[in-house]
Amino acid sequence: MLVFKKAIALQNHLKRVLPAGAAIGFVPTMGALHEGHLSLLTAAKNDTGFSVCSIFINPAQFNNPTDYARYPVQTASDIDKLERAGCDVLFLPPAAEMYSQTYTPPHYHLGVVETVLEGAFRPGHFQGVCQAVDRLLAVVSPTDLYMGQKDYQQCLVVKRLLQLTGRKALRFHMAPTQREKSGLAMSSRNLRLSGAEKETAAALFQTLQHIRQNFASTPRQLLEKEGMDFLKSCGFTPDYVAIANAATLAAPNSASEPLVALVAATLAGVRLIDNLILN
Ligand code: AMP
């Protein structure tokens, strides 16, 4: 695996080693890599034959400075994991390589998916995500982009970004959420939980499973309230438990629409999210 910190060096390398129009599978990350990230990389490599991963802890998407300051950095072990997973190229840009001094962030017209759920609790978050993803796509020019269902709303936002920026040919792949045996979705933030807290955190997945088992026969608001109460009883401070239309994230009108259940809650100062497709 080759590691590049400069965009121009990465682009020159890709031109040198790949024939024009060759497939490139791209996995953007913020590092502290786990099996969830590596599953995206394996899919990218298997589908396209050439995988590029990026690690960039994007300050623009953190609305909470403490969360940014505490975000885990494990570059040496990340490089080791990527090598072993067969990654071809790692892009590891410093912030100055991503955003020049004269960079003025554009405003992306993302619609309702920007402002509900995560967007309501993390104002500006998805604009920040789009700034980084837009820039990374411009540098890497992949044919295929891999993102995790774990960040379901982010997937919808990035699909919208691809439309807005005219990247019609870019194939978007949403890969399934990788979980611990307990059901807890793997996340870099789990590193900040103790063993006992990780066990407790499995309540997020239990909440989602309870919703999936009951959504056809139980009123939506009741299930959402039960979920909030259950998480509070486990020691979480929940932001939301929501059943939403899977395409728009709007509140649904019937159980026969495509539905997703989403949850966000803080445990021991660590904010976690998860979701489950219901039908
Ligand atoms: P992050 O480093 O948290 O920005 O995540 C980078 C990519 O990995 C995003 O597309 C995430 O959705 C994806 N990802 C994170 N956790 C998981 C997981 N448990 N399973 C599958 N994909 C994941």
The pTM assigned to this predicted structure is 0.98
Residue 162 has pLDDT above 90, yes or no: yes
Ligand 1 proximity of 177 Cβ (cutoff 6 Å): yes
In this prediction, residue 182 has a pLDDT band, given cuts at 50, 70 and 90, of: very high
Residue 39 CA: nearest ligand 1 atom is: 21
Q: State the average pLDDT over residues 5-12.
A: 98
In this prediction, residue 255 has a pLDDT band, given cuts at 50, 70 and 90, of: confident
**Angle of CA points 228, 183, 275, to nearest 5°:** 50
Ligand 1 proximity of 185 Cβ (cutoff 6 Å): yes
For a ligand 1 pocket test, name from 30, 37, 133, 157 the mutation site with the most ligand atoms within 8 angstroms of its C-beta. Answer: 37
In this prediction, residue 221 has a pLDDT band, given cuts at 50, 70 and 90, of: very high
In this prediction, residue 238 has a pLDDT band, given cuts at 50, 70 and 90, of: very high
Q: State the average pLDDT over residues 17-21.
A: 96
> 254 alpha carbon to ligand 1 midpoint, in Å?
30
Catalytic (active-site) positions? 37
Q: State the average pLDDT over residues 40-53.
A: 98
Q: State the average pLDDT over residues 91-114.
A: 95
Mean per-residue pLDDT of the chain: 97
Residue 88 has pLDDT above 90, yes or no: yes
Residue 275 has pLDDT above 90, yes or no: yes
* CA–CA dist 148, 152 (Å, integer): 7
Residue 87 has pLDDT above 90, yes or no: yes
For a ligand 1 pocket test, name from 29, 55, 129 the mutation site with the most ligand atoms within 8 angstroms of its C-beta. Answer: 29
Residue 186 CA: nearest ligand 1 atom is: 19
Ligand 1 proximity of 186 Cβ (cutoff 6 Å): yes
Q: State the average pLDDT over residues 13-19.
A: 98
